[in-house]
Structure 1
Amino acid sequence: MPLPYTLLIDPLPADSPRTDFAGTFQAVDSDAPALRVAELSTQRGDGVFETLSVVNGHAQEVEPHLARLANSAQICDLPTPNAAQWRAAVDDALRHLPAEGQLALKFVLSRGVEHGPAPTAWLHATAAADFSGMRAHGVRVVTLDRGYPRGVAERAPWLLMGAKTLSYAVNMAALREAARRGADDALFLTTDGFVMEGPTSSVIIRTGREYVTPAPSGAILHGTTQQAVFEYLSSRGERVVYRDVPVDELRRADAAWLVSSVRLAVAITALDGEPLPADQPLTDDVNAFLLARTA
């Protein structure tokens, strides 16, 4: 089946007893009209999504991505996804996708048509971008003020900061601002100087013998790839820690990485124009581990 590949899903309630999902999803021509003009995902970004990596026919971290999709849906007052149905849709898609190479598989759950009876959902598979250069040579990063102090998500849950929503205009604007500053990517900071995450990634730093990532909170997504990297580091006997990270600690780090599902792990080689030490051998080892996973 040629790429891109799109599978529309007729979402079932989370408590549906159904085990046969035949007929609840169908492949559609990715170039053909499939959504109505009144679809709220396109009009308002009123929906949630996840993107996972498919490597040589194996979908990576399906369960963590489904769990995070459900969490985002709960935050946004969307119906809880039926996990078994989504697993079946992934399996169906994999039977039609190339068995070699790396793909990006996106889950989308939207509120649907305004005043409509049900949400809209789909899977969309594309060939993954070539990130081999970034994995081999690292990225230059700038820090950007996110405009909120630490703790804002708990005080203002309507900001939906803990959900992975389709409203990605700010994240894309941050990447354009990074490019304007001569960098490859960005890291968001709270107004009181704590590290959050990248527009499309989590951050891991090494300080001494500790590998640290900002503690997941209402404002910081619990990265699925970051969790996998921590599992790998723990298997090597390394100490991994979740806690608040002041930006000054990041600037003094012995090494730092951005990690995400499709790009995987890339070393930060410069921060706000200042060189940062990079551990390329460990970066290569981490990416070899991530690419070798079968689940």
Structure 2
Amino acid sequence: MALRFALVIEPAASDDPRPVFSDSFRVIDPSAPALSVGELSTQRGDGIFESIGVVDGHAQETEAHLERLAHSAQICDLPAPNLEQWRQAVAVAAQHSPSEGEGVIKLILSRGVEHGPAPTAWVTATAAADNSIAREKGIRVVTLDRGYGIDTPARAPWLLLGAKTLSYAVNMAAIREAKRRGADDAVFVTSDGFVLEAPTASLILRIGGRFVTPAPNGGILHGTTQLSLFAHLEAQGHETGYEVLPTSALGEADAAWLVSSVRLAAPITAIDDIEVPSDAELTASFNRYLLSPRD
């Protein structure tokens, strides 16, 4: 899909006290070349990003995304973003998102140009793809070995596990492999037999009436949509939890979902060709909530 809007940001220091940052924004033609050939985001994938869902012109869960952007910057040794500057950039991008229907705002912070000024940053806005079929009919997934153990992130923090980096080649390769196996998406598992997350989504299982998700201590990206949905479930009196889940837990679920900022809640109908019960009414209620304005 073609970009509707692009905004280049001149990053400000995190302690810059200015109340207005509009003079640090530069609107550019979204179809025109914009990055230097020395840009490390394209040469090495050396940067971080966030994708914010937009519903009827309203940017969803902006604060949670900004907090995660700052967390990723810290993990990757990038300069701490000035969150007020980024907040204002999101507001500008939202004005150029579809006023009706769904859209996506992307925030990108790169290490910059090699041997040059750093960092570089920009924001884009576009219409979202139609995810209605995945939400209503569900998706089939396969489990794929992520290639490390549950304790690897603690032993090897330089792998940047748990940061939302631009280096998404492995994530995209996993989705292609899932499709080669006749599925729609994948769920990563550790080499020592624990459940992680999907390449672009969080996993939620319903087991024995409880809603659980893998604990974010194994290199899992803490999902903004999962956090919001858990808060919604708790407000309705449901029990939620974070657990270190063995792969056997996948077979114990009486319902399962992949949730993300743009696709929202997609019920899982099969895992490794084993059918999973689905709850159409509950899924519809999830998506009604996720499509409501959320700050």
| Structure 1 length-normalised TM | 0.98
Query: Take 2:94 and 2:166, find their aligned partners in 1: how far apart are those partners?
Result: 24
Q: Which amino acid aligns with 1:140?
A: R
Q: Gapped runs of 5+ residues in structure 2? A: none
Instruction: Tell me the equivalent position of 1:264.
Output: 264
Partner deviation per Cα, 1:121-163 (whole Å, 9 max, x = no partner): 0111111010000100100000000000101001000100111
Instruction: Tell me the equivalent position of 2:228.
Output: 228
- Once superposed, which parts of structure 1, at least 4 consecutive aligned residues long, lie more than 3 Å away? none
Query: Take 1:114 and 1:48, find their aligned partners in 2: how far apart are those partners?
Result: 16
Query: Take 2:112 and 2:17, find their aligned partners in 1: how far apart are those partners?
Result: 23
Question: How has the CA–CA distance of structure 1 residues 138 and 64 changed in structure 2, closer, same or farther, with 3 Å as cutoff?
Answer: same
Q: Which amino acid aligns with 2:243?
A: R
Query: Take 1:209 and 1:168, find their aligned partners in 2: how far apart are those partners?
Result: 34
Q: Which amino acid aligns with 1:80?
A: A
Mapping of residues 74-113 of structure 1, within 5 Å: 74-113=74-113
Query: Take 2:3 and 2:75, find their aligned partners in 1: how far apart are those partners?
Result: 32
Q: Which amino acid aligns with 1:101?
A: G
Query: Take 1:191 and 1:118, find their aligned partners in 2: how far apart are those partners?
Result: 37
Instruction: Tell me the equivalent position of 1:59.
Output: 59
Instruction: Tell me the equivalent position of 2:69.
Output: 69
Question: How has the CA–CA distance of structure 1 residues 294 and 230 changed in structure 2, closer, same or farther, with 3 Å as cutoff?
Answer: closer
| Structure 2 length-normalised TM | 0.98
Following TM superposition, by how much is the alpha carbon of 1:218 offset from its aligned partner in structure 2, in angstroms? Answer: 5.2
Q: Which amino acid aligns with 1:174?
A: A
Equivalent residue of 1:38, what SS? Answer: coil
Q: Which amino acid aligns with 1:185?
A: D
Equivalent residue of 1:176, what SS? Answer: helix
Instruction: Tell me the equivalent position of 1:116.
Output: 116
Query: Take 2:95 and 2:58, find their aligned partners in 1: how far apart are those partners?
Result: 11
Contact kept, 8 Å, 2:256 with 2:278, in 1: the verdict is yes
Query: Take 1:232 and 1:49, find their aligned partners in 2: how far apart are those partners?
Result: 26
Contact kept, 8 Å, 2:52 with 2:59, in 1: the verdict is yes
Equivalent residue of 1:125, what SS? Answer: strand
Instruction: Tell me the equivalent position of 2:273.
Output: 273
Following TM superposition, by how much is the alpha carbon of 1:294 offset from its aligned partner in structure 2, in angstroms? Answer: 4.1
Query: Take 1:97 and 1:272, find their aligned partners in 2: how far apart are those partners?
Result: 38
Equivalent residue of 1:174, what SS? Answer: helix
Query: Take 1:222 and 1:232, find their aligned partners in 2: how far apart are those partners?
Result: 17
Query: Take 2:198 and 2:96, find their aligned partners in 1: how far apart are those partners?
Result: 33
Instruction: Tell me the equivalent position of 1:145.
Output: 145
Instruction: Tell me the equivalent position of 2:243.
Output: 243
- Number of residues of Structure 1 aligned to a counterpart in Structure 2: 294
Tell whether 2:207 aligns with 1:207: yes
Contact kept, 8 Å, 2:97 with 2:126, in 1: the verdict is no
Query: Take 1:97 and 1:48, find their aligned partners in 2: how far apart are those partners?
Result: 22
Question: How has the CA–CA distance of structure 1 residues 218 and 141 changed in structure 2, closer, same or farther, with 3 Å as cutoff?
Answer: closer
Tell whether 2:34 aligns with 1:34: yes
Partner deviation per Cα, 1:251-285 (whole Å, 9 max, x = no partner): 12111000000000011000001101111110000
Q: Which amino acid aligns with 2:219?
A: A
Tell whether 2:123 aligns with 1:130: no
Partner deviation per Cα, 1:59-103 (whole Å, 9 max, x = no partner): 001011000000100111100000000011111222233311100
Query: Take 1:4 and 1:251, find their aligned partners in 2: how far apart are those partners?
Result: 43
Instruction: Tell me the equivalent position of 2:217.
Output: 217
Question: How has the CA–CA distance of structure 1 residues 218 and 76 changed in structure 2, closer, same or farther, with 3 Å as cutoff?
Answer: farther
Q: Which amino acid aligns with 2:143?
A: T
Instruction: Tell me the equivalent position of 1:162.
Output: 162
Q: Give aligned-pair identity as a percent.
A: 60
Instruction: Tell me the equivalent position of 1:4.
Output: 4
